[in-house]
Structure 1
Amino acid sequence: MILLSPSFLFFLTLVQFVTSSPTDNGAPLTIPLRRRERPAGTFIDVAKMADNMRTKYGYQPVLDTTLQRRQKVSGVSIQDEGPDVSYFAAIQVGTPHTGSSDLWVASTACQRGCQGSPLYDFQSSSTFKDGGTTVQVQYGSGSVIGELGSETISLGGFTVQNQGFIVAQAVSEGLVDAGSSGLIGLGFQTLAETGATPAVQALAQSNQLASPEMAFFLARNIDNPNVNSVNPGGTFTLGGTNSSLFTGSVQFIDIPNDITPSFWFIPVDAVSIGGNTINVSQQESGAAIDTGTTLIGVPSDILNEVCSQIPNSQNGTGSLAGFCVIPCSSSINSAMTFGGKSWPINPADFSIQQPGNNNQIVCVTAMFDLTPNTGPTPGAPPQKRQNNIPNPAFIVGDAFLKNVYSVFRFSPPSVGFAQLGSNGGGSDSSSTPL
């Protein structure tokens, strides 16, 4: 299945992907996604997810002060297993060996953290080239150590020669499992720790794609109590869109001209709760659209406004600090506005169950405070990274993206949304307003 982050990413499988090759003109290729296993009776650890996201985007974590802030974001986020958290697709690595990689891949040289994962055998590939340099990539929830190399990477019938990647030799526990072998970066080269051009960007730049786009439909299973194993998770379309999954036209919002393409970074106009609109100031409107993230990170003042609009809600404490605790019986109409158009969020995506005291279940909003006690002053412009890359004020993850058909265009750099069609399940906005 697929996972994305500020610089999109895939979990990779080492199962060879079987599909018809794209036509000579690079017609769009649609790849089915699978959803990572959800153990029965488990919950998403929202507190850990939130801290991983804060760390990944350069903000201070709240719960685990030992997490290291990175000087440069690699664009990869790993979260605990849970409903609609991780999505996978398969690619092919090497000649003749099949595997899975692009940013990094668990290899036969891996000595830690790769148990049970299908492994890439670089010694069996005639196209592998050793870069001779050891590199460590630090993520919010772990790290990868390995050797830089280059290899032939294939996604369906599309091929990238001499793709730079990391041959993983040690991986933090939990970054890969029996169903995955690594991560593939799908964003812009600016964020790549290795300096390599990400594979999809390389395909777009080499004009192998009919259209310099990739698109996603992410299936919803969060409200299905019987989801206990790897399940269909949607589709990833490379080189265009799949018109059977959406209706109407795709509304594109350009990445601002004064921002170096890095994250898929677009402005947010407003957030609405129960029909009440919360306008977002221009100074704090920047949002990273991140399919590798489950939750929606928002500025402190926006989260406070959201919580104030929900009856019988309260600010979370302890491990739930930075979240709004809401009645589990609530069916909340919410939406986010981009480019002047409002996109509703299914109530099942907005409310997340958590274990509480005395074995009681509590619920929190999918929106959380990205910068509690540490972030920029409300209304102040976000800090800039190197290369004119701002820290995004919003992180918009799958709780929103499951409700739209999302399209990511390399030229001109932009993100587009479209209304899901009947094949995509649509978005349920029929709940009773607050």
Structure 2
Amino acid sequence: MFTSCLLLSVYLLQASASPTPSLQRRELHVPLSHIHSSRYSDDPASQAAWARSAGERLVSKYRTPSPRALSKRLTSNISLVNANHDGSYSGLLGLGTPPTPLNVLLDTGSADFWVASTGCAAAQSGCGGLPLWDPRTSETYENASVRFEVGYGSGRASGVLGWDTVQLGAFEVVHQPVALCDHVSPGLLTSPVSGLMGLGFQQLSASGATPLWENLVQAGLWSAPLMTFFLTRFLNSSALGTQQPGGSFTMGYVDTSLYTGTIDYAPIPAGRAGYWLLELSSVAVRSSSIPLSASSSQNAAVIDTGTTLLLAPSSAIQAIFSLIPGSQPATGDYAGYYQYPCSSNTTLTLSFSGASRGWTISAADFQLLKLPNTQDTCIAALYESNLGNNAPQWVVGDTFLKNVYSVFRYDPPSVGFASLSSEARGLSAPGPLPNVSVLPPEATVTAPAEKLSRATRTPPSKGWDLGIVLACLILGHLTIALL
């Protein structure tokens, strides 16, 4: 799914079907945590296996896309937990009545909501050690008796679709579709994560269900029609514990304390909503640009919180590393990656059509890991894509997103970036994990009655590759979901 899976502990926000002007604006913060990954193992074989798995999952996530045809004003802030040194970011939500707290991945690269259930036999799947949800504990669970299956680069999850009440932050959605998975591929999830919440558009949903976030925004419950992410960095802090404060996820507002200047928005191309997708206008190694495809469709880039790596076409990868002296294709378990001199302090800048400036991946994030038993050889956090003409060729995951404050705007459909404030940068420091819990909702909305289709989709290899690799191994669909 993705090299470093975003583990997000989220809370369901209650939104009223009939917006009530008397309700006051609310904000909720959900901390993220970070989990230890095999990326930092002293065993070269374990480290290589992690890298190989991350890359393969990333490609699988995006290879076979199957897009579908497309009050009360509140806000909520969910604190995240950074696990495994930027491997995943997790959040807490409440599922059922009474609500059971569950940690899930928040993945902008996919659109389905699923959890591992008590029907998942640990001996036959990847559910061993995971917190499993028991639908018998909920007074409001309804079984739709429709089979569900979704595939990622790192594996598959399958089970049965149903409906239940979900609480996320200050909001609650009644009758929200959820898949209870009785089979999860080994390594797809890592404790304490129990599932994944997709934050992409409905067109991506394997079940055809409207994602929870769209139910909230369409009900007019958010003060502004947008979601934001701020992700902390502990990439080079392998000596720290496996979980650290991970940043925040907000719904309905932007946290002005976490960025400076203006938010620079780039539009989602007309007719391309599904993924949070932007068109690249330039890519530069330091100050030297590389050639991009003459076809704008080949320059489409998915912005994916559920992916750790940056996925790029082979031609672009080759052009990037031709500008880095001493670099070369990695081999063996690292095939698909490039190795380069760690001391080169390489940075990469991405610019998007419709935006006014470019955004830089720092040298710290450009480096995925340092090869064991070497003095100055690193593996870059870029992976070659080979996804076919119908899949996005670029997937921009946490390697990039840790460097910016990112905003996912529903109307007009766009993604914005802003420079991190000094306060935000100061939060990438060891500290106590957020004290989070499922809070009583302040607004409730009932999900529309929708016919659920048999979900049998393999999302294009996305952040889940690295995101889930990290989410699975680390944990990583991303992450939600896609790379």
Residue 311 of structure 1 corresponds to: 325
- List aligned pairs for 1:114-153, cutoff 5 A: 114-153=127-166
- List aligned pairs for 1:364-375, cutoff 5 A: 364-371=379-386
Work out whether 1:86 is the aligned partner of 2:96.
no
Cα deviation, residue 334, structure 1: 2.3
Secondary structure at the counterpart of residue 209 of structure 2:
coil
- List aligned pairs for 1:210-229, cutoff 5 A: 210-229=223-242
Work out whether 1:394 is the aligned partner of 2:407.
no
Secondary structure at the counterpart of residue 329 of structure 1:
helix
Deviations 1:314-348 (A, max 9, x none): 22233333322101222113211122411121101
- List aligned pairs for 1:58-73, cutoff 5 A: 58=63, 70=64, 72=66
- Which of 114, 120, 126 in structure 2 is aligned with 1:104? 114
Work out whether 1:420 is the aligned partner of 2:414.
no
TM-score (norm 2): 0.73
| 1: CA distance, partners of 2:423 / 2:65 | 42
| 2: CA distance, partners of 1:240 / 1:117 | 33
Cα deviation, residue 184, structure 1: 0.6
Q: Which moved more, 1:32-41 or 1:401-410?
A: 32-41
Deviations 1:59-115 (A, max 9, x none): xxxxxxxxxxx56389xxxxxx85312110000111113133771112222223323
Kept after mapping to 2: 8 A contact 1:354/1:364:
yes
Cα deviation, residue 219, structure 1: 0.5
Secondary structure at the counterpart of residue 29 of structure 2:
strand
Question: Which amino acid letter does the alignment assign opposite residue 177 of structure 1?
Answer: T
Cα deviation, residue 177, structure 1: 3.0
Higher helix share: 2
191 and 418 in structure 1: CA distance in 2 versus 1, 3 angstrom threshold = same
| 1: CA distance, partners of 2:165 / 2:257 | 32
Residue 293 of structure 2 corresponds to: 281
Give the number of aligned pairs.
Answer: 387
Residue 347 of structure 2 corresponds to: 333
Cα deviation, residue 289, structure 1: 0.6
Kept after mapping to 1: 8 A contact 2:371/2:379:
no
Kept after mapping to 2: 8 A contact 1:107/1:119:
yes
Residue 450 of structure 2 corresponds to: none
Residue 165 of structure 1 corresponds to: 178
- Which of 249, 254, 278 in structure 2 is aligned with 1:266? 278
Cα deviation, residue 290, structure 1: 0.8
Q: Which moved more, 1:126-135 or 1:346-355?
A: 346-355
Residue 460 of structure 2 corresponds to: none
Q: Which moved more, 1:298-307 or 1:85-94?
A: 298-307
| 2: CA distance, partners of 1:362 / 1:220 | 21
Identity of aligned residues (%): 36
Kept after mapping to 1: 8 A contact 2:343/2:376:
no
Kept after mapping to 1: 8 A contact 2:164/2:175:
yes
- Which of 314, 321, 344 in structure 2 is aligned with 1:300? 314
Structure 1 residue runs without a partner (length 5+) = 59-69, 75-80, 377-382, 385-390, 429-434
Residue 62 of structure 1 corresponds to: none
| 1: CA distance, partners of 2:359 / 2:188 | 32
Residue 65 of structure 1 corresponds to: none
TM-score (norm 1): 0.81
Question: Which amino acid letter does the alignment assign opposite residue 118 of structure 2?
Answer: T
Q: Which has the higher contact order (CA 8 A, sep 6+)?
A: 2
Kept after mapping to 2: 8 A contact 1:328/1:353:
no
Deviations 1:243-289 (A, max 9, x none): 11000111111100132x11110011111113212243351210001
RMSD: 3.0
Question: Which amino acid letter does the alignment assign opposite residue 190 of structure 1?
Answer: Q
Work out whether 1:189 is the aligned partner of 2:202.
yes
Question: Which amino acid letter does the alignment assign opposite residue 85 of structure 1?
Answer: G
Residue 34 of structure 1 corresponds to: 33
Kept after mapping to 2: 8 A contact 1:115/1:177:
no
166 and 12 in structure 1: CA distance in 2 versus 1, 3 angstrom threshold = farther
Structure 2 residue runs without a partner (length 5+) = 17-21, 42-46, 69-82, 105-111, 429-483
Residue 207 of structure 1 corresponds to: 220
| 1: CA distance, partners of 2:99 / 2:118 | 12
Kept after mapping to 2: 8 A contact 1:163/1:199:
yes
Kept after mapping to 1: 8 A contact 2:15/2:172:
no
